[in-house]
Structure 1
Amino acid sequence: IEAEGAKILGVAVESPDSNHQAFEVSVKLNLKDISRVTAALKRYGYSVVTESESTVLENDLEHRADELLKYIDM
């Protein structure tokens, strides 16, 4: 992932359940365009279930809105 120019901001791992036999790993990156990282993971045989470029933007906007509300309450 980092070889593709991305920095890992967070990782979460879910254990397999009765329906799935593989671990599910969620990786939060600092990039908006994660297509190179997705392609690299697929090249190495990883199954990419979901990719979301808007999650980082949504989290940033939510954080900014929270900070604005805190400022207004002062």
Structure 2
Amino acid sequence: MTPNTVPSLLHAVLDPLATVHTQVEAALFLAQQYKLPGPFIDTIKASAAALDGIHDTLLDIAVALDPDLAKDQD
């Protein structure tokens, strides 16, 4: 694998990861609406936060390897 393919691969997973995050946020909204138990809601919140962290980290790595990718995020 060449160095140029690494940021491309990382960038390729960012959109699907964002989609999963959106679905987790929707699950959180529904869980709150249906007043599910607090521990269940806390687990969904933790999952959303973890996905945020993963997305940010992958984006930082991709941009560090290929600064042109930052322009795509604007």
**TM-score using structure 2 length:** 0.34
Question: Normalized per residue, which structure has more strand?
Answer: 1
**TM-score using structure 1 length:** 0.34
Higher RCO structure (Cα 8 Å, ≥6 apart): 2
